[in-house]
Amino acid sequence: MVFKTGLTSTPITITSEIDSADIVQLAVADGGDTVAVASAAQELHVYRSGDLVVGTKNCWTYHKARITSMQWLDDRFLVTAGLDRNLYVWDVTDPVEGPVASLKDVHRDGISSFHATKLSSNEIRIVSGGVEGSVVITVLAVKRI
């Protein structure tokens, strides 16, 4: 993977060979310095200004099927959803901890897309679309957000 950041006249390029699987999802945090990358092997990697934030692949392989959608809530919290029917909230400042919250079996055939909105310091509204054609609206309690 090649990650470029900066002005077009002076890009910074970082090449990483941490994963040989296809990149299936990409999400850039608002500031533009943090990029989340999901692979076809259900691995999630987070880069900040070209440095690997997540140290080990095993900490970020909670999804059991393809990650179909990702969204940053801010520069610290990332939400992912997949065909495994699960949705996870990650604190990228503490990658060893694992997800800080999750919704399991949200849709019968998997989650195709979602939108997350931070409601308060410990609640997120999730509107998700399922492969089976349904829409689910859920408020998720998060211990620390």
**Confidence bin at 15 (pLDDT 50/70/90):** low
Domains, the chain, ranges and CATH? Answer: 2-141 (2.130.10.10)
Burial of 111 (0-12, 13-18, 19+ CB in 10 A): buried
The structure's pTM equals 0.81
**Confidence bin at 5 (pLDDT 50/70/90):** low
Look up residue 46 and give its amino acid. Answer: V
Q: What's the CA gap between 82 and 112, in Å, rounded?
A: 7
Closest listed residue to residue 46, CA positions, set 68, 20, 18: 18
3-state secondary structure of 95: helix
Phi and psi at residue 58, in whole multiples of 5°? -60, -30
* pLDDT tens-place string over residues 23-61: 888 898 888 778 888 888 888 888 776 555 544 333 467
